[in-house]
């Protein structure tokens, strides 16, 4: 993303000395405006606008373009704040899946959770991956997410992975991570038009198959 260049060329907002509100009230209004701008970006991304302009963001938030300059250094800063805000929003969907029970149950529970997450994030996830190509902070957020994904797979399927050699375990976890990733979900759901349940069953069955084959 061309962060500074993507913003409209407008001067920063200024306030006359007599217009300044008490610090607490001003800080509260600033936080509210900042959240509104971040939420406007998330709404536009959810609508499928992968590269909304500063004017479109400002219009959706009901603020001036100047306010975008005031509250964010550039569009990269805004994308990073919006991504962090969105992660907090979906945090309740990331409760740890149980590592107990039959492998089929664990696989289905984990894939069901991932599928629901991808269905919820949709275009926002795609936009994050797109803009991460030019944003070190977004790339770090995605990298942390991938690391968490692999660690969760190793935890949930620790029983099946334990007998394997380090090389076998690494290769299998990498394969499971691909199967559980957003690209797989989008291929099944968007390109092959499978519903949530059908996509979940496809991936869960593939996971069980590869785990059983590795342990045989």
Number of domains in the chain: 2
Final residue belonging to a domain, choices 44, 63, 87: 87
Residues 19 and 58 in one domain: yes
81 and 99 in a single domain? The answer is no
71 and 178 within one domain? no
Reply yes or no on whether the pLDDT at 165 is more than 70.
Answer: yes
Q: Which of 97-106, 129-138, 145-154, 176-185 has the lowest mean pLDDT?
A: 129-138
Range of the domain at 191: 95-215
For helices 196-215 and 166-179, angle between their N-to-C axes, nearest 10 degrees: 170
The tens digit of pLDDT for each residue in 124-160 reads: 888 888 888 888 888 888 898 899 999 999 999 999 9
Tokens of 37: 């701008």
Identify whether residues 207 and 127 lie together within a single domain: yes
Domain boundary (87, 104, 133) is at 87
Q: What is the DSSP letter of 48?
A: T
pLDDT at position 85 is 87
Examine the domain organization and report whether 106 and 208 are in the same domain.
yes
Based on the domain organization, do 120 and 183 belong to the same domain?
yes
Which of these three, 87, 118, 146, is where a domain ends?
87
> What pLDDT was estimated at residue 18?
43
Q: How far is CA 148 from CA 29, 37, 155, 210, in A?
A: 35, 29, 10, 21
Are both 114 and 201 inside the same structural domain? Answer: yes
**So what's the pLDDT on residue 21?**
46
The closest alpha carbon to 168, from 110, 107, 216, 201, belongs to 216
41 plus 100 within the same structural domain: no
Q: Are residue 136 and residue 51 in the same domain, yes or no?
A: no
Q: Report CA Rg, the chain.
A: 21
The tokens 């949930």 sit on which residue? 156
Residue 101 sits in the same domain as residue 203: yes
Residues 77 and 112 in one domain: no
Q: What is the pLDDT of residue 14?
A: 31
112 and 197 share a domain?
Answer: yes
Q: Are 68 and 58 in contact (CB under 8 A)?
A: yes
Query: How far apart are alpha carbons 67 and 167 in whole angstroms?
Result: 52
Burial class (CB in 10 A: 0-12, 13-18, 19+), 160: buried
Residue 147 pLDDT: 93
């Amino acid at each position: 993303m061309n962060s500074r260049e993507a913003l409209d060329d407008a001067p920063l907002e200024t306030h006359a000395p007599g217009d300044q509100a008490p610090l607490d009230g001003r800080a509260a209004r600033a936080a509210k405006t900042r959240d509104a701008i971040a939420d406007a970006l998330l709404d536009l991304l959810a609508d499928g606008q992968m590269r909304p302009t500063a004017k479109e963001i400002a219009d959706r938030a009901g603020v001036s373009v100047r306010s975008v300059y005031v509250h964010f250094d550039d569009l990269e800063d805004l994308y990073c704040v919006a991504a962090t805000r969105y992660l907090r929003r979906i945090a309740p969907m990331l409760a740890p899946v149980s590592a107990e029970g039959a492998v089929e149950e664990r696989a289905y529970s984990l894939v069901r959770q991932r599928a629901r997450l991808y269905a919820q994030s949709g275009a926002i996830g795609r936009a994050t991956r797109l803009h991460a190509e030019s944003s070190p902070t977004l790339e770090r957020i995605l990298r942390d997410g991938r690391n968490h994904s692999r660690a969760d797979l190793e935890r949930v399927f620790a029983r099946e992975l334990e007998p394997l050699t380090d090389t076998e375990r690494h290769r299998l976890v990498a394969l499971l991570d691909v199967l559980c990733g957003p690209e797989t979900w989008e291929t099944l759901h968007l390109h092959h038009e499978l519903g949530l349940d059908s996509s979940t069953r496809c991936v869960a069955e593939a996971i069980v198959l590869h785990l059983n084959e590795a342990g045989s």
